[in-house]
Amino acid sequence: MFSQTSEYAIRALIEIATRPEGEHVLSSELGESLGIPQHYLSKILQQLVRTRVLKSVRGRSGGFRLARSAADIRLRDIVEPFEDLKKCEECILGQPVCSDAGACPLHDFWGDVRERYVNELETKSLADLTDYQLKKLGSMNAGLFKRVGSVPGKESLKQKSKRKKVGTK
């Protein structure tokens, strides 16, 4: 549903948003604590600066911070640079147009899913996501998105590569 890149973006923004307002967070620290490749994350954050979701300050005591209140950042604003949202307007089976008039049995399914998807992107804000995080942090002492133990983020990523291929046995 979300690309790896979008997932990184969301997780990083949640982390940034839970920090004291105005504090600058280092991309290296984010990558380290979230188990996201640091330099790759840098590029993602840079992109979010360009789309005015984040602001950055260079040099000593620099870093990234939100460009505006978390409540004003929609999920859509976060993933837009990394997802082809137009694609989900199209037919799931590759038809040029996908109309309800004359729908195949997959049409209802696909229509519902994407409606819910775009609705989620439009209505959920970064604040909605962090609210839960903050509640959790109250009762536990480890952040949900912090890695615990032996870098589970990296490991689970590698395991994903075991997919079956088309041509080879």
Partner DNA sequence: TCTTTATCGGATAACTTTGTCCTAATATCC
Partner DNA sequence: GGATATTAGGACAAAGTTATCCGATAAAGA
How near is the Cβ of 8 to DNA at its closest, in Å? 6
92 binds its own copies (CB under 8 A): yes
Q: Which residues contact 133 (CB under 8 A, 6 or more apart)?
A: 14, 18, 143, 144, 145
Task: Report the residue from 4, 28, 69, 95 that binds ligand SF4 according to the rule CB under 6 A.
Answer: 95
Q: Which of 17, 34, 45, 70 touches DNA (CB under 7 A)? A: 45
88 binds ligand SF4 (CB under 6 A): no
Core vs surface per residue 94-124: b (16+ CB within 10 A) or e? eeeebeeeeeeeebeebeeebeeeeeebeee
Of the ranges 39-47, 118-126, 134-142, 144-152, which one interacts with DNA (CB under 7 A)?
Answer: 39-47
Q: From residue 83, give the alpha-carbon distance in Å to each of 22, 35, 51, 112, 117.
A: 28, 22, 14, 19, 12
In angstroms, the CA 128 to CA 122 distance is 12
Contact partner, 58, from its own copies, ligand SF4, DNA, none, Cβ < 5-8 Å per class: DNA
What angle do helix axes 4-18 and 27-34 make, rounded to 10 degrees? 110
Please state, in angstroms and rounded to a whole number, the distance separating the CA atoms of residues 19 and 22. Answer: 8
| The two structure tokens encoding residue 111 | 């229509």
Compose the 128-167 pattern: x for residues touching its own copies by CB under 8 A, - for all others: xx-xxx--x-------xx------xx--x---x--xx-xx
Is 37 near its own copies (CB under 8 A)? no
Return the SS3 of 53: coil
In the complex, the residues that contact its own copies under the rule CB under 8 A are: 1-2, 5, 7, 10-11, 40, 43-44, 46-47, 50, 81-82, 84, 87, 92-96, 102-106, 109-110, 112-113, 116-117, 120, 124, 128-129, 131-133, 136, 144-145, 152-153, 156, 160, 163-164, 166-167, 169
